[in-house]
Amino acid sequence: MDQHTLDILEFYRIREILATYATSSLGKSLAASIQPDTDIHRIETWQKQVTELRNLLGNDGRLPLGGIRDIRPFLEETEDPAVVLSCEALLDIHSTLQAARYVKGYLAEVGDGYPHLSRLGRRIGSFKGIEDIIFASIDMSGKIKNNATPKLNSIRKEVELKRTRIKSKLQSLVRSPRISKYLQGGTVTIRRGRPVIPVKIRFRDKVPGIVRDQSDSGETLFIEPQATAGAGDELQRLLQDEKQEMFRILQEITDSIRAKMDNITQTLKMLSIMDLIHAKAAFSKDFDMSEPIMNREGNIDVKKARHPLLMFERGWGRRPVEMLHEKDTRPMQDAQHLNLKSEVSSPESSSDSVVAIDVRLGRDFDTLVITGPNTGGKTVTLKTVGLLSLMAQAGLHVPAAPDSHMAVFRDVLADIGDEQSIEQNLSTFSSHLVQIVRILQQADNQTLILLDELGTGTDPQEGAALGIAIIDFLRRRGSRTIATTHLRALKTYAHAHPGIENASVQFDMETLQPTYRLLIGAFGSSNALAIARRMGLPEEVTSRASDLVEGEDERIEDLVNSLQQIKGEIEKEREDLSAAKEESLEVKRRYEDMIQVLQKKEGKLAVLTPSDMEDEQDEEPVPVTFDSLQRGDTVKILSLNTVGEVIGKMQDKNKLVIRTNMMKVEVRVEDLEMVRGE
């Protein structure tokens, strides 16, 4: 995947957020290195794994991933047959193998409804024998237990007995009037592993024994008295035996790990993957994400999509200390489109501020040209589509409705933002061209192209011609393209050519504020003069500018704004009608269920037969109103295809109460038809 695109769409920030949800350093490392893939089968497998785990854990569940350590360095050390692992290393290995057993057991009990997770669970090894020997041999402080082996237990008992006897003998010497007057103090201590007493240097010849050490001042000698030297030698031999037995124990455990190293390495890999899946599932839950439906045909159809980094800026997700670094919390490059503040707010209070958009591309048209004012969020739309594509191909859920479709592209290529460079002597126009040249060289029918402000930065006529030629070139290559522009020639071109569609980011002309809603099928206006007035440009300047705009251009601008306003209202009405239709269907389904229950119970409902319906169709329906219907009138409930009698009215709800044999229902007058008397 193109690195420039990954950087400009800030995919690295998605990795950073994802890593905060990982439990172990292994999972964090894996999360920080995920990449978009191009194999649809692998991508769909990743997506299913996340979906299964999110469903399995529900709202509050957690996978038992605690205790996983990065034991890879220890496993690498064991490749050398001479290496014996330390107690600390073995404790980390024990903790990790125990976690593996817990995870394997958890996944073994999930049942057939989670095939992808069950498959991963079967690949996690079980090492109970190694766990047990480590637990039996090493305590939690990292010391080998006395009862690790009978031999070690016996040696340590002898060591303790020998030390007690030596200490008793030395204390007798210290208390002796004959010796005590030559001592620097009355304390028995250990120097260089030997029990000694402190003797003033001028009385060296008065205390027979072996000098084991000397104080820093040189005034005191630490002497092992001749009376305990033999016992001290025996103690040293016992300590050496203890050391050899401890080494043998650690060597035996290391050898058992070495024998299973390949399986342990595989298990460690699976634990890392499970931690990554768990992080993806938690990320998905916190950001209200869904699994997209993937396809190879280059079709994108995302509904209610939101930009995840804008959501993060608005308070969604986790914020550990390590993410509060300046470079990690800087606002997204286009955050100003949503008037983002520097303070962090909670998602409960600000979730609606990240406006959801519907975008489609590929099925009816392969190129989408987005127009609208500078403050309207055109670039955010580009980045949303691009970043969600990268996320989906990396096996992440996307912040969009569950029935959203995403395509698998070989590459996503983007030219977004002003990348002019003083060092390279590049103007804004030239910097765009550098990227576009690179994009055209790589474009084919498996690429998604994102072009921001196509044709700008130069003469409008030449820029428009160049923009049209670039779109034509990309269409011949079979690419899927989304471009933003202010140039009217590009809007007209898109309107006149099949396979290209206009879209605009809706702008409220009354408030002069963008709504950020994307309207496909309409082209927008830049509204430059209106925005200039709102931003405080002197009236003298804006009036003069209005005079300079040709009359035809002004009329077209007004027409565009009117059409956009009408289209927005139609879209809103269509959404309201769709919701009302769904509510009506739900009511109908509920009534039908009630009728079926009553039919089974009483067998007496008067339901119209097909022949009755044919008879009814021969007659013109009698129109009814709320006021025209009276108690005792016979009516037909259209949604239930059932005849009943009016038995009451509900003035406050504009509904009538209808009795259909054994059931009473409340029905709106629009759902009624008068039945003619026989």
Q: Determine what percent of the chain is predicted with pLDDT higher than 90.
A: 45
The stretch 73-83 carries a mean pLDDT of 94
Q: Is the pTM here over 0.85, yes or no?
A: no
pLDDT above 70: residue 560: no
pLDDT for residue 421? 44
CATH of the domain at 644: 2.30.30.30
User: Looking at 518, 548, 578, which one is the last position of a domain?
Assistant: 548
Q: Is 489 within the bounds of a domain?
A: yes
pLDDT for residue 587? 74
Query: pLDDT tier at 333 (50, 70, 90 boundaries)?
Result: very low
Q: Are residues 88 and 162 in the same domain?
A: no
Q: Is 616 within the bounds of a domain?
A: yes
CATH of the domain at 433: 3.40.50.300
Which residue's structure tokens are 């002898």? Answer: 158
Mean pLDDT of the chain: 82
pLDDT for residue 241? 95
pLDDT for residue 178? 83
Q: Is 557 within the bounds of a domain?
A: no
Q: Residues 533-547: pLDDT tens digits?
A: 777 888 878 777 777
Query: pLDDT tier at 34 (50, 70, 90 boundaries)?
Result: very high
Q: Are residues 650 and 612 in the same domain?
A: yes
Q: Are residues 401 and 496 in the same domain?
A: yes
Largest interatomic CA distance in the chain: 140
Count of the separate structural domains present in the chain: 4
CB 657 within 8 A of CB 664: yes
Q: Is 503 within the bounds of a domain?
A: yes
Query: pLDDT tier at 579 (50, 70, 90 boundaries)?
Result: low
CATH of the domain at 111: 1.10.1420.10
The stretch 335-347 carries a mean pLDDT of 34
pLDDT for residue 542? 74
Q: Are residues 117 and 155 in the same domain?
A: no
Query: pLDDT tier at 122 (50, 70, 90 boundaries)?
Result: very high
pLDDT for residue 138? 96
CB 185 within 8 A of CB 197: no
Which has more pLDDT, 631 or 299? Answer: 299
Q: Render 443-467 in DSSP notation, one character per residue.
A: --TTEEEEESSTT-SS-HHHHHHHH
Q: Are residues 640 and 527 in the same domain?
A: no
Q: Is 637 within the bounds of a domain?
A: yes
Q: Are residues 280 and 374 in the same domain?
A: no
pLDDT for residue 341? 30
Which has more pLDDT, 174 or 160? Answer: 160
The stretch 395-414 carries a mean pLDDT of 96
pLDDT for residue 81? 93
Q: Are residues 528 and 412 in the same domain?
A: yes
Q: Are residues 540 and 426 in the same domain?
A: yes
User: Starting from the edge strand earliest in sequence, which strands make up the sheet with 634-637, in order?
Assistant: 663-668, 655-660, 642-650, 634-637, 672-674
pLDDT for residue 442? 95
Query: pLDDT tier at 557 (50, 70, 90 boundaries)?
Result: low
Q: Are residues 152 and 120 in the same domain?
A: no
Rounded CA-CA distance 173/188 in Å is 10
Q: Are residues 32 and 119 in the same domain?
A: yes
Residue from 226, 279, 329, 318 nearest 13 by CA? 329
Q: Are residues 173 and 116 in the same domain?
A: no
Q: Is 133 within the bounds of a domain?
A: no
Q: Are residues 488 and 383 in the same domain?
A: yes
Q: Is 610 within the bounds of a domain?
A: yes
Domain that holds residue 72: 3-127+260-286
pLDDT for residue 320? 54
Of 23-27, 425-429, 475-479, the one with minimum mean pLDDT is 425-429
Q: Is 491 within the bounds of a domain?
A: yes
User: Starting from the edge strand earliest in sequence, which strands make up the sheet with 357-361, in order?
Assistant: 293-295, 405-407, 300-305, 357-361
pLDDT for residue 611? 45
Residue from 399, 481, 404, 490 nearest 436 by CA? 481
Rounded CA-CA distance 96/264 in Å is 10
pLDDT for residue 512? 60
